[in-house]
């Protein structure tokens, strides 16, 4: 009897399993949702609709980002349900929602490097037709290119971003410098003089993660090299790329002018170290101000400045871009209302307050000449930051980039730890990435 029961259960389970088709369907090509016509200049009344927005917000509902959502609701009558996460959980949150075929999320923040996956994987709705061409032209070139994948518009630009060069004026003056370095060679010489009495010449976000790749990309182009070529093949192991990693290794191992903790730091850790006044120079994203000038968070109030990343030889400056967009989810059931948010996001009503309170840089060209923006710029950094945007360098946004980036950061980290020579590390990375590209064809 007992055996019979067990057998019955097993047969039941197996027949059920055999009945369900577990084989994967073709990737990314889920059943297309009924394509409704979306219009940028919508006339339909959308009051009372509710959209769900997944984005990075670590300041809560009363922080700058939380407040702006209330403004949007006041203005358009569309309610917004916010799912607030930190940057590192963002990607997982989006992909799990997609994997479970959930239509809960209408809009999601997208980092530039995910564009390929979002499009090929059928996560995001292609906005190329929904956003009129003349509207697209109003975005800055750098912010628009960071949300384009092939001909698709994967997201609407959310903010503009590159890395910038920050320095501590007081520490530089003490060492006899009244200007920041213009070339990486100068940077190296200055670092040697600046490193003493517990102060380090520089600190970096060289934890084995994407932040490490970001700094590497800036340096690759700074030394006149290239990251990937036009055909999408890795070329960072030649010329400028090799020089860049050699430079990083020299700084950490020969000169010892880099705070050793850099190898386990991410961008925020570097910012914190810089704000204690023990680091003379750093590279970092926007959004350092107002924090660096806030006495409750910083010991270097009014002692710091921001400017162009150093270059080398013919290169005046080069910096990796980190612009982001907000994507409209393909499975969303409130596409028109969500598009309304994307439109509102591109106006002054959204961009100015976030610039003022969150240090986020506008995506529309026109806003940079706006007197209100100039007035809001208390630290007088807009022009300096803007200038860097002209020297932005994108990382590839092909679907495989996330994997390639992990391969690369692992190898670079090995070189920084002195376990591999720069050439060996970069060659291995290039070979592995080529193999990954080959396999995903």
State the minimum distance, in angstroms, from the CB of residue 374 to other proteins. 39
Nearer to other proteins, 13 or 61 (CB): 13
Q: Please calculate the CA angle 89-71-370 and round it to the nearest 5 degrees.
A: 95
- Residue identified by tokens 């790749």 is 213
Nearer to other proteins, 91 or 187 (CB): 91
Nearer to other proteins, 341 or 404 (CB): 404
State the minimum distance, in angstroms, from the CB of residue 219 to other proteins. 19
Of 405, 437, 423, which Cα lies nearest the Cα of 237?
423
The sign of the CA dihedral 287, 290, 291, 292 is positive
State the minimum distance, in angstroms, from the CB of residue 210 to other proteins. 8
Nearer to other proteins, 49 or 269 (CB): 269
Residues that bind other proteins (CB under 8 A): 1-2, 13, 16-17, 20, 22-28, 88, 91-92, 95-96, 99, 116-117, 120-121, 123, 207-210, 259-261, 263-264, 399-400, 402-403, 406, 409-410, 413, 417, 440-441
Give the number of other Cβ atoms within 10 Å of residue 128's Cβ: 14
Nearer to other proteins, 141 or 440 (CB): 440
State the minimum distance, in angstroms, from the CB of residue 248 to other proteins. 14
Q: Which pair of tokens denotes residue 344?
A: 């509102």
State the minimum distance, in angstroms, from the CB of residue 188 to other proteins. 22
- In the chain, what is the straight-line distance between the N-terminal and C-terminal CA atoms, in Å? 54
What are φ and ψ of residue 280, in 5° steps? -85, -40
State the minimum distance, in angstroms, from the CB of residue 24 to other proteins. 4
State the minimum distance, in angstroms, from the CB of residue 228 to other proteins. 16
d(CA 429, CA 375): 47
Nearer to other proteins, 204 or 391 (CB): 204
Nearer to other proteins, 73 or 264 (CB): 264
Q: Which pair of tokens denotes residue 123?
A: 């996560």
């Amino acid at each position: 009897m007992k055996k019979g029961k067990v057998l019955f259960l097993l047969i039941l389970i197996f027949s059920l399993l055999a009945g369900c088709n577990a084989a994967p369907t073709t990737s990314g090509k889920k059943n297309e949702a009924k394509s409704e016509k979306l219009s940028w200049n919508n006339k339909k009344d959308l009051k009372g609709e509710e959209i769900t927005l997944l984005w990075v917000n670590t300041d809560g509902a009363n922080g700058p980002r939380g407040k702006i959502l209330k403004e949007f609701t006041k203005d358009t009558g569309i309610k917004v349900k916010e799912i607030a996460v930190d940057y590192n959980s963002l990607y997982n949150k989006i992909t799990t929602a997609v994997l479970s075929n959930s239509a809960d999320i209408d809009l999601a923040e997208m980092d530039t490097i995910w564009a390929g996956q979002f499009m090929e994987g059928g996560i995001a709705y292609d906005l190329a037709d929904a956003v009129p061409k003349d509207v697209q032209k109003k975005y800055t070139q750098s912010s628009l290119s960071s949300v384009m994948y092939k001909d698709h518009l994967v997201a609407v630009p959310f903010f503009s971003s590159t890395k910038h060069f920050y320095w501590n004026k007081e520490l530089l003056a003490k060492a006899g410098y009244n200007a920041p370095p213009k070339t990486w060679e100068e940077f190296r010489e200055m670092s040697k003089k600046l490193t003493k009495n517990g102060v380090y010449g520089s600190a970096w976000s060289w934890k084995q993660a994407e932040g490490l790749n970001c700094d590497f990309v800036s340096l690759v182009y700074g030394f006149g090299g290239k990251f990937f070529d036009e055909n999408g093949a890795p070329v960072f192991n030649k010329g400028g790329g090799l020089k860049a990693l050699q430079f990083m290794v020299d700084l950490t191992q020969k000169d010892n002018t880099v705070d050793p903790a850099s190898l386990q730091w991410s961008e925020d850790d570097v910012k914190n170290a810089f704000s204690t006044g023990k680091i003379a120079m750093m590279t970092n994203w926007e959004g350092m101000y107002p924090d660096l000038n806030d006495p409750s968070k910083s010991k270097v109030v009014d002692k710091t400045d921001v400017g162009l990343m150093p270059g080398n030889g013919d290169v005046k400056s080069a910096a990796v871009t980190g612009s982001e967009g907000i994507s409209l989810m393909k499975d969303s059931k409130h596409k028109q209302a969500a598009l309304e948010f994307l439109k509102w996001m591109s106006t002054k009503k959204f961009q100015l307050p976030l610039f003022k309170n969150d240090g986020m840089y506008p995506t529309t060209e026109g806003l940079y000449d706006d007197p209100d923006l100039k007035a809001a710029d208390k630290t007088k950094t807009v022009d300096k930051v803007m200038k860097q945007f002209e020297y932005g360098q994108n990382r590839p946004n092909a679907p495989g980039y996330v994997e390639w980036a992990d391969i690369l950061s692992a190898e670079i980290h090995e070189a920084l730890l002195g376990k591999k020579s720069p050439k060996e590390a970069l060659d291995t990375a290039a070979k592995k990435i080529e193999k990954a590209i080959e396999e995903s064809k």
